[in-house]
Structure 1
């Protein structure tokens, strides 16, 4: 691996690890209803705040993609070389697996925890959907939510944006918004790595449904990149 990519590789690895550990961790450890739980809104903010924190921690190193869909979108939008995208995506997937593994070790420290019952923050549709939404509803939601998320990222990080210093905040808050609406539908992925990590540990239905949480976010990111590059910022 080119030594120039190593800092970016490790930044993406660590950033994605934090996203999965804190985001999914909020659902597994702190998301229960009741006086000790943070609820849906708390989970939504955990994911968004993870992105905000990592944007300011590693954004100057790798751009803080921490999401294969973002990396692919950046390539399609002409903001990144395809050769550099491959190590980014590898780092993101490995980081997500590490984050899910750490979360499992922590969650398993509580008596009564069962990955089969309590899960690991994995995504799903139909019977595996938090609100029992269908495959079609899940696919549409993941595609459109990723489309919107990437539009915010393209706009917030554009050289034409005079408020670029707040890019991390706007991107993180957009992810909060997406989670507030989307958690009941699929648990919200908009990030293939975020789905792959927990699914590898939970197995079974999470693995069989994983294709949707890879295909839909990638489709949404490509559509967003095309719209941004050729329609919105074509001049």
Structure 2
């Protein structure tokens, strides 16, 4: 996504390669609505999220169906986690240069908080992601109707033995880990310093999704993506799922918020820079 660049450049730690430091994106950039690049990115997010839900929910239903017929068969939890992580790796690789490859409202929200995208783009992305997720889950139901209905539709819910508070905490931590990885992988200073980073950018993001699923599938089935949770919940349409659905919005959005602020204020040092600027201004007025 093209952004205005500051006139000053910052030099990387090795002192060899300067890079243009991106300015914070304007919050209300209505001019984006006149650009085809925005709508192309929105379409890319819609299709990518549709494909993501189709592949992953079909894997979940297929695994449950196989293990129900014969114990210890199917891909297992690890295979389900690989389905989610691998799909994200492939899809981010495919559309990263078009839309940034968010495929997740929590990631989009984190980028909005970090002033990397405008509010207009964020809203359209989230709408596209949710619609894509609903369509993807609907396709799975159309192909696997009986197992989809009988095996939970791949919808997220709080597992037996865990409280809603524990599930919320798991969603916050899992999304923090994911969005923290996304911010680190897309840091312009890293991509300027290490030439291999842009090529391998989807890899750490996909692995982050994979390992979070390994950790939290037994707790919530792993949401960390409100569109994924909404798509499966809406198509499955179960009262228990809806009673707990708020967890899979609040948890990921809180986790994304914390990760964005941590990266912006702590890792990028903006809090220290702001404090130093405030002190310098105060000293000048004395």
The answer on 1:37 being equivalent to 2:74 is: yes
SS at match of 2:245: coil
Could you tell me which of 141, 144, 147 is aligned with 2:176? 147
Give per-residue Cα distances to partners, 1:70-116, cap 9 Å, x unaligned.
001001011111121111000000000000000101112xxx5361x
Unpaired segments of 5 or more residues in structure 2?
1-32, 271-286
Q: How many Å separate the matches in 1 of 2:140 and 2:103?
A: 18
Matched, 1:138 2:173: no
- Cα distance per residue 1:157-204 (max 9 Å; x no partner): 111222232110110011100001110000001000000001012222
**When you count strand as a share of all residues, which structure comes out higher?**
2
State the Cα deviation string for residues 59-80 of structure 1 (Å, max 9, x = none). 1110110100000100101111
Q: Which residue of 2 aligns with 1:227?
A: 262
Query: Tell me, what secondary structure is at the counterpart of 1:160?
Result: helix
1:6 aligns with 2:39: yes
Q: Give me the TM-score of the superposition, normalised by structure 1.
A: 0.92
Alignment of 1:24 with 2:57, yes or no, is yes
Q: Alpha carbons of 1:114 and 1:197: their partners in 2 closer, same or farther (altered >3 Å)?
A: closer
Q: Which one of 180, 186, 192 corresponds to residue 220 of structure 2?
A: 186
Aligned residue runs from structure 1 range 42-57, under 5 A: 42-57=79-94
Q: Does 1:168 align with 2:197?
A: no
**Which among 139, 152, 174 is matched to residue 119 of structure 1?**
152
Runs in 1 of length 4+ with deviation above 6 angstroms? none
How many residues were matched structurally? 227
Q: Following the alignment from structure 2 to structure 1, what is the Cα–Cα distance between the partners of residues 47 and 100?
A: 13
Contact 2:81 2:213 in 1 (8 A): yes
User: Given the alignment, which residue of 187, 206, 218 partners 1:158?
Assistant: 187
Larger Cα-atom Rg:
2
Q: Give, in whole Å, the separation in 1 of the partners of 2:79 and 2:230.
A: 22
List per-residue Cα deviations over 1:118-169 (Å, max 9, x = no partner).
11111011xxx2x542101100000011011111000011112222321101
Alignment partners' CA distance in 2, 1:228 and 1:85? 19
TM-score, normalisation: structure 2: 0.76
Structure 1 residues 78 and 105, CA, compared in 2 at 3 Å: closer, same or farther? same
Greater relative contact order, per chain length (Cα 8 Å cut-off, separation 6+): 1
